[in-house]
Amino acid sequence: MGHPDGWVGQLAVLGAPLELQVHLIEHPDARGSDRISEALQPPIGLARNLPITIIEAAHYIPNDVIPTMYTPDFVYEFTWAAGQIPSGHNAQLFQCKTPTMQPQISPVREYFITLQDAIVDALESLSGAGQFQSSDLPGPDGTLSRPRVLEDGEHIEKAAVQFTHSRGASLPDAATQRNPHLAGLGFQATAISLIVHPRNPYVPTTHANLRFFLVEADDPFWYFGGGFDMTPYYGFEEDARHWHEQALAATGDHYAKLKTACDDYFYLAHRNECRGVGGIFFDDWQEGGFDESFALTRRVGDHFLPAYRPIFERRVSAPYGERERDWQLYRRGRYAEFNLAIDRGTKYGLQSGRRVESVLASLPPMATWKYDYQPEPGTPEARLYTDFLPPRDWIPSA
């Protein structure tokens, strides 16, 4: 249907925020013009006032052709004001009804790269002095590794934000122990993983990971996995609640299940304690098909910074001394134990032949072990064991 005041079309948000694509269907009598691109200016009245960047415009699509190359996550109607469109041009509103997206690695890869860049920028800002060492390491068949590591920053002692896209002739053992029927099959995998080891002991360590596996078989097999968790050295109720509120906002009805999975996974059985206050964790995830699983993965990724940054900013200026530093280093030992003895991601990275420097970049820069150490009862250090490490419902109504 034409619009008397200008050009009407649709805006589809693909993957990360602000990565936009516009598809327009013109009236037949307007075909042949080469001036439509002149009209692609930021629209007025855009829902939610999102800024727009035109990535691609599909010109002169016949009215009976339905694009099937993408499925939008959100669709916004927009209208250009009269006078912004070359004289004589009009368009129809195109209702985007496309088939469910088939599992494919390229949109996941692009989202992970965009998310990596955003998190690196945010952590550099939080760190004060200090910048990430960055390199892009292309591999065979279009694969890529993008290690990003910050060391000895003003407020962040060490952080790593790693992106990988890999291929293999057969899945490593760590990826098939829960799916033995996939052994020996070729695969692609892409992932983003991050760790932040702050300098101030009152700022918690945090970890996040998102991953996608695509097994190349006659009937392709795929799954998503990931989550985020937080490991404080000193517990604060408001921090733990905020962390889990953001986890709930990201996962909705899945929160309770993913929280329990996180508590179960980040557990050091040899110490009989959880690593931290948890968060959310999912693996072998296919619920709702590829579209819904990818959407959940993006929500988790997009909620990481809103979950962590306010806590970092709240605690980064707290005064501390030798006692707090010694406790931080001692508790970092637990982090190293988990990563080296338990974590499936570390095992997968080593078994799949990934770059060892990248696999082990999550380890803390310094840690200590003390024989049979127990904090004094009633101290803030002891409260970590009694009030924060045991699993609990931080959002009772969830």
Residues annotated catalytic, as ranges: 207
- Phi, psi at 198, each rounded to 5°: -70, 165
User: Position of tokens 């080469």?
Assistant: 34
By the 8 A CB rule, do 74 and 12 touch? yes
Closest CA to 227 of 263, 203, 270: 263
For residue 8 the two structure tokens come to 């009407």
Are the CB atoms for 89 and 60 separated by under 8 Å? no
CA angle 175, 343, 151 (to 5 degrees): 120
Contact 128, 105 (CB under 8 A): no
Query: Comparing C-alpha atoms, which of 271, 277, 193, 281 is closest to residue 232?
Result: 277
Residue with tokens 């380890």: 363
Joined together, the tokens standing for residue 238 give 């408001």
